[in-house]
């Protein structure tokens, strides 16, 4: 069953790679519980089928990096990029895309959270295994307020400008 507007996001574990130790987070991958991360916050989350892939690297992630301040000006506390990749890959992609201080690069390495959302994408036939559908959402205290799920192979409704216009 796919999550929808009005639903509470399921709990799960997402992993973020840290370049330096700070704020109680050690160097390297750190696990976070979704329930703790969303508590009392407004979060713009978007997911991509894969780090370093063409549309994701050229359009999707850069749009959120560019619109980070505008989203924060509209009350968004954090912006998350979620992908079914490991934390090392997400950390490297974040460095390349200069996301520090703008977008949290969160790995769902085994697609557990993505499956719990009902937003998995089977790309096994293309040699990529289970991935995430491309989508964006606005979460308020863990409840889905906006949800934009792309049709397969499309990039039309999950971009930063669309989510910004919905806030």
Catalytic site residues? 56
What tokens appear for 123 in the block?
């790309």
d(CA 77, CA 102) in angstroms, rounded, equals 10
Q: Which helix (DSSP H) or strand (DSSP E) does residue 161 occupy?
A: helix 160-166
Judge residue 4's burial from the number of C-beta atoms within 10 Å of its C-beta, 0-12 exposed, 13-18 middle, 19 or more buried: exposed
Q: Is the dihedral of CA 68, 70, 71, 77 positive or negative?
A: positive
Residue 29 CA: distances (Å) to CA of 13, 14, 99, 120: 12, 10, 16, 23
d(CA 86, CA 14) in angstroms, rounded, equals 10
d(CA 43, CA 143) in angstroms, rounded, equals 10
């Amino acid at each position: 069953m796919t999550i929808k507007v009005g639903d509470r996001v399921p709990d799960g574990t997402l992993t973020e790679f840290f370049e330096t130790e700070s704020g109680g987070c050690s160097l390297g991958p750190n696990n976070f519980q979704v329930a703790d991360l969303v508590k009392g916050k407004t979060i713009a989350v978007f997911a991509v089928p894969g780090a370093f892939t063409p549309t994701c690297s050229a359009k999707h992630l850069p749009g959120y990096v560019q619109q980070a301040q505008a989203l924060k000006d509209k009350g968004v506390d954090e912006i998350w990029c979620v992908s079914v990749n490991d934390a090392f890959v997400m950390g490297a992609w974040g460095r390349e895309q200069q996301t520090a201080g703008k977008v949290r690069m969160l790995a769902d390495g085994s697609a557990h959270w993505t499956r719990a959302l009902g937003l998995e994408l089977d790309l096994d036939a293309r040699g990529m295994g289970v991935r995430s559908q491309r989508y964006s959402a606005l979460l308020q205290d863990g409840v889905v307020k906006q949800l934009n799920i792309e049709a397969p192979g499309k990039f039309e409704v999950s971009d930063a400008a669309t989510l910004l216009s919905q806030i």
